[in-house]
Structure 1
């Protein structure tokens, strides 16, 4: 089992064993592999993953929860929630902001549930009001810098539905320039211009929902 954290848009796999995929990555010369848990090894991973010649990192430890806890302590964690929204034609709602295609999401408010946050953020960023949560999809992790703060964002994603005729209003104060319904045959071009974590959400949905939402 593993989780992926995107650091500098590169995947770092925290795992308790190496499956076939991780075994292949392990043998690549541009992969950083660490199997000793400690402050020095976490710092080494964060330093090495920033190097331009490095593709990804693998951090192996038999206790995944202990590894996750130790790794996350290096960051200030922010929790967010959002949605992969489908219409009646099974098209996916995508937004364009800051040069990338994205999915609507945002930070959770104090006292708010994850589901309520996901609905609110989709409504605010897209203008859609008639939303229904179908089920949870996945959780993604990525890091970024905010001044002197090292932030790890934990985003909870939900599969949602809405009528195809829902009015779309981009939230321009959040730098959203466009909103589009994207048919499956056109998705590849859009996710090629999306963040890696967003690609994972969409590709995971496609792989697991080939015949039903």
Structure 2
């Protein structure tokens, strides 16, 4: 199963209908045109679309093939008092992440981005939590961003938001207190939070 996010819209490509998606619209894989779909939904509110296919991997590859793919990495950072690190960027709560430098390993990029964006020292980069796909436009080009997310550990320390990346706040949030984050974040971030709430 693949989930592609365009702002608040999720496009799911799968060979079954997932239980947890709520209301959705089904799309015919035969007539699907991603460019048209993107134009239609990029300014839409929260919505879920599903493409049912026998071969989700093949369908996903076909959809993203014409477009530029950018690799990024980030972290879900936990401290010793069970708090998680969030950033506030462009009016929404988010998690620290960024693009890989030329030839950089994903895990190293994730650690570097977290440290740069929040002004902290990461103690440990753990297992990969998940991969996400986010689609956006850059200079008129549609771009697929593949982000690898890692579990990380850090001491509770003073946070210094990277203002040049438009991060206006970095905050430690108690493990059971994600409600206010969820009210003002992207569906993609909600998906990542749900992995630690289980």
Partner of 1:163: 155
Task: Give the deviation of 1:172 after TM superposition.
Answer: 0.9
Task: Give the deviation of 1:7 after TM superposition.
Answer: 1.8
Partner of 1:211: none
Over residues 164-197 of structure 1, what are the superposed CA-to-partner deviations in whole Å (9 max), with x where a residue is unaligned? 2x23111111111111100133211112111111
Structure 2: tracts of 5 or more residues without a match: none
Structure 1: tracts of 5 or more residues without a match: 208-213
Q: Is 1:102 the counterpart of 2:94 in the alignment?
A: yes
Over residues 19-59 of structure 1, what are the superposed CA-to-partner deviations in whole Å (9 max), with x where a residue is unaligned? 4446x64xx5xx142232xxx42345445545848822111
Task: Give the deviation of 1:10 after TM superposition.
Answer: 0.4
- TM-score (norm. length: structure 1): 0.84
CA RMSD of the aligned region, Å? 2.1
Distance 1:52 1:95 in 2: 24
Q: Is 1:182 the counterpart of 2:173 in the alignment?
A: yes
Is 2:122–2:152's contact at 8 Å kept on the other side of the alignment? no
Partner of 2:5: 6
Distance 1:150 1:163 in 2: 38
Q: Is 1:154 the counterpart of 2:154 in the alignment?
A: no
Out of 75, 79, 83, the residue aligned to residue 87 of structure 1 is 79
Q: Is 1:63 the counterpart of 2:62 in the alignment?
A: no
- TM-score (norm. length: structure 2): 0.90
Count residues with an aligned counterpart.
197
SS in 2 for 1:58: strand
| CA gap 1:56/1:179 in 2 versus in 1, 3 angstroms | same
Distance 1:109 1:188 in 2: 34
Larger Rg: 1
